[in-house]
């Protein structure tokens, strides 16, 4: 049984605006599903329906086996949610918020303190637990928000743009935590505008545009759909460019060379082909000045499917190690 099963899900507002226009998706237990799309594409509306904050106007969706429209309380019991804005009461301390969240989830009083301590430690906030949240940095708030979402050990975790606006260190901490959750078997539904984030964390990616899913698959498969990776080669000294092209043509189809490169060749196996290419060129007496492996990005996929680029594509995710 899928952890999240969505069929023909729709949401039409009273104004007539159809924010989500019949999407289908299935997320398997333990999977990290990246949900990509620009602002206004329908990401947040979809998430709000899946977490029972908004009723669908068409189609159906089950989360952790329960229907979001007819069994919302059962869904809420099994999901954790960290929404885009970490809504935290700034007058309360981190520990007080954790304990409040535990109570709101019906955790028995005798387990509340232990569970709060465990999660505060897990997200690295033990030193700040007694401080008011108003004194926390943006990264600390996000980590606390994540800890609160995990207080009842949810089966399915929804993270809505969890690293937007965070510094690389905080982003790295959150990425590590998502990987850890995946290792623990938690299903994660991750919405993001950062392509690299989806690439790094997601087992599969769904791209939504104008309320419809326009592409879905593993990041590698999606990128393969829009073309093979290619090697752009430039030579320090190249007396015989046609010979070089002949040699490189053995590895794959030649492409028009971009500015700054002498030859460009598609390579089906990507990085695996770099060493053989260098070896062949070296043996033939060519001196390679630069060699760059260019792989299609998820933004290329998005552009291919929608004719537009994602906003986050222009903003590097300041990749942590």
Partner 1 sequence: MSTVGPTAEERHALGGFERADLRRQLAVVIALVRRALNEITRVPGASIPGVLAPTIFVIGLSSVFGQADQVPGFGAVDFKTFVVPVGFLQAAGFTGAATGVNLARDIEQGWFDRLLLCPAPRLTVLAGVVASAALRCLLPVSFLFAVAMTIGVDFPGIGGLLIALLLIMGLASAFACYAVTLALRFRTQQAAPLMQMGSFVGVLFTPAYVPKELLAGWLEAVATVNPVTQVLIGVRQSFVGETSWGETWPALLAVAGLILLFGAFAARGLRRYAS
Footprint of partner 1 (CB under 8 A)? 29-31, 51-55, 73, 76-79, 81, 83, 85, 87-89, 91-92, 99-109, 111, 115, 132, 148, 151-155, 181, 183-186
Which CB sits closer to partner 1, 100 or 224? Answer: 100
CB of 202 to partner 1, least distance (A): 15
CB of 147 to partner 1, least distance (A): 13
Which CB sits closer to partner 1, 20 or 317? Answer: 20
Residues 8, 48, 13, 9, Cα dihedral to 10°: 0
- C-alpha span between 170 and 155 (Å, rounded): 24
Give the residues across from 119 on adjacent strands. none
Q: Which sign does the torsion angle of CA 118, 123, 127, 129 carry?
A: negative
Q: Nearest to residue 198, comparing CAs of 2, 36, 18?
A: 36
Which CB sits closer to partner 1, 162 or 296? Answer: 162
Nearest-5° angle of CA 58, CA 195, CA 307? 65
CB of 318 to partner 1, least distance (A): 25
Which CB sits closer to partner 1, 87 or 271? Answer: 87
CB of 185 to partner 1, least distance (A): 3
CB of 118 to partner 1, least distance (A): 11
- Read off the tokens for 290: 């630069």
Which CB sits closer to partner 1, 110 or 127? Answer: 110
- C-alpha span between 71 and 52 (Å, rounded): 9
**CB-CB contact of 170 with 197 (8 Å):** no
């Amino acid at each position: 049984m899928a952890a999240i099963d969505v069929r023909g899900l729709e949401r039409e507002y009273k104004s007539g605006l159809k924010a989500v226009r019949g999407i289908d998706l299935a997320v398997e237990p333990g999977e990290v599903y990246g949900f990509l799309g620009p602002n206004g594409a329908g990401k947040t509306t979809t998430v709000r329906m899946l977490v029972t904050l908004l009723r669908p106007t068409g189609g159906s969706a089950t989360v952790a086996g329960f229907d979001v429209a007819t069994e919302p309380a059962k869904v809420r019991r099994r999901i954790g949610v960290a929404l885009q804005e970490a809504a935290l009461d700034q007058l309360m301390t981190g520990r007080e918020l954790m304990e409040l969240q535990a109570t709101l989830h019906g955790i028995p009083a005798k387990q509340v303190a232990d569970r709060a301590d465990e999660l505060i430690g897990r997200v690295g906030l033990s030193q700040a637990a007694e401080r008011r949240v108003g004194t926390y940095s943006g990264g600390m708030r996000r980590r606390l928000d994540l800890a609160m979402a995990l207080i009842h050990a949810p089966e399915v975790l929804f993270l809505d743009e969890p690293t937007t606006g965070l510094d690389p260190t905080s982003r790295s901490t959150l990425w590590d935590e998502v990987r850890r959750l995946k290792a623990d078997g938690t299903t994660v539904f991750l919405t993001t505008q950062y392509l690299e984030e989806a690439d790094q964390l997601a087992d599969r990616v769904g791209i939504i545009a104008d309320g419809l899913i326009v592409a879905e698959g593993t990041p590698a498969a999606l990128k393969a759909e829009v073309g093979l990776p290619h090697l752009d080669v430039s030579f320090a000294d190249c007396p015989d460019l046609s010979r070089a092209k002949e040699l490189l043509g053995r590895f794959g189809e030649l492409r028009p060379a971009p500015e700054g490169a002498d030859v460009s060749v598609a390579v089906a196996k990507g990085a695996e082909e770099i060493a053989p290419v260098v070896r062949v060129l070296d043996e033939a007496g060519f001196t390679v000045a630069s060699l760059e492996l260019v792989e299609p990005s998820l933004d290329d996929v998005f552009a291919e499917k929608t004719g537009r680029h994602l906003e986050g594509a222009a903003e590097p995710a300041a990749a942590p190690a």
